Amino acid sequence: MAEHVQKLVVVTGASTGMGASTARELARQGFHVLAGVRRDRDAEALRSAGIEPVILDITEPGQVEAVAARVADDPRPLHALVNNAGIQVNAPVEALPMAEWRRVFEVNLFGHIALTQALLPALLRSRGRVINISSIGGRTAMPTYGAYAGAKFALEAVSDALRREVEPFGVRVVVLEPGGVRTEMATRGIATANDLATRMTPEQHQRYGGLVQAINSLMASGTASGLTADAAARAIAKAVTTPRPRTRYAVGRDAALIIRLSRILSDRTLDRVIATNLRRHYPKPA
C-alpha cells in the first residue's frame, strides 16, 4: 500500500456501481482518487479519506478540461485513468433512433477518447496506464445490443491502437471485459429498453417485441447471478496495480466462457447457441 501513497488515479462514472466500488478500493490501497460524478449529491455520498469527488460528464469539454487542469496542478504523479463511465441502451438496429445511436457513442466511446487525450500528457510523464472498461459486448454482439456493443467494439479497437502508440513510452493500456455485474446499470438498461419498445411501430413491435422481452429477461437473470460491484472493483484494482498487466482481462466466469466460445465457434454456430439460450426467455403464448 505504501508504494501507492501520493499517486493519483482518475475514475470516471464513480457515482454508483463498479465506479464507486473501484474508487473506494483504490483509496483503500493508498491512492488519491479523483472520482468523476455528475451530481453534487453523489459527490457528498462518495467523499471520504482518499476520495476527492469531481464533477465530470465526459461528454462536456469544459468538465474534461477542468479535470485535466486539476491533475496538472497537483504535484503527485497520475498513475492511472480508469475509463468506466457508460450507459446501456438496447433496441433492435431498425428501431433505435439515430439520436440514441449518437448518444451511446458519445458516452461509451468519444467521451473516453476526449478524457484520455486530455490526460495523456500527465500519463506520459508518469509512465502511467489507461484502464478501459469494455464488456463481453466488446467481443460478441447480442441481439438489440447493436449500439452498445458497437461502441464497445470500437473502444477495444481504440485501445489496441493506443497501446501500440504509447507503450514504447512506458504507458500501459489495459482492457477489462466484465460479464454480468450486480449494478444499477442493468436495471436502468431494462427500463430504457422498455421505453424504446413503446416507440416502435406496430410492424416493428410484431417483429421484435418478443425479442426485447427475452433480452430483458436474460439481462435480469445474468445480472442477478453476476459478480458484485466490489468483486469487479478488485479486478479493476489489480489491473491498476499489477507491475506487468495483461492487455485484456475477462471479469467473471460468464465473460470468460463467452469470450472462449467466440474464439472457437463459427459465426453461424454461435448464432444458434445464442438463439437457443434466448428461447427460454421469450414470453409464453397467452
- The per-residue pLDDT for 143 is 96
- The per-residue pLDDT for 223 is 75
Backbone angles phi, psi at 249, to 5 degrees: -130, 125
Q: Which of 148, 208, 249, 282 is catalytic?
A: 148
- The per-residue pLDDT for 224 is 75
- The per-residue pLDDT for 3 is 59
Q: Which amino acid is at 122?
A: A
Residue 222 DSSP SS3 = helix
CB count within 10 Å of CB 85 equals: 24
Tell me whether residue 148 is one of the annotated catalytic residues: yes
* pTM score of the predicted model: 0.92
- The per-residue pLDDT for 183 is 78
- The per-residue pLDDT for 4 is 62
Pairing label, strands 51-55, 32-37: parallel
- The per-residue pLDDT for 9 is 98
Integer Cα distance of 9 and 118 in angstroms? 14
- Only one residue has cell 478501459, namely 132
Beta-sheet strand order (sheet of 8-11): 51-55, 32-37, 8-11, 78-83, 129-133, 172-178, 248-251
Encode the chain (286 residues) as per-residue pLDDT tens digits. Answer: 555 668 999 999 999 999 999 999 999 999 999 999 999 999 999 999 999 999 999 999 999 999 999 999 999 999 999 999 999 999 999 999 999 999 999 999 999 999 999 999 999 999 999 999 999 999 999 999 999 999 999 999 999 999 999 999 999 999 999 988 887 777 788 889 988 999 999 999 999 999 999 999 988 887 777 889 999 999 999 999 999 999 999 998 889 999 999 999 999 999 999 999 999 999 887 6
Domain at 2-279, CATH homologous superfamily: NAD(P)-binding Rossmann-like Domain (3.40.50.720)
The percent of the chain in helix, strand and coil, each rounded to the nearest 5, is 60, 15, 25
Residue 140 DSSP SS3 = coil
DSSP 167-206: GGGT-EEEEEEE--EESHHHHHHHHHHHHHHHTS-HHHHH
Tell me 60's DSSP state: -
Q: Which amino acid is at 213?
A: Q
Integer Cα distance of 42 and 32 in angstroms? 18
Q: What number of CA atoms fall less than 13 Å from residue 109's CA on the CB side?
A: 19
Residue 131 DSSP SS3 = strand
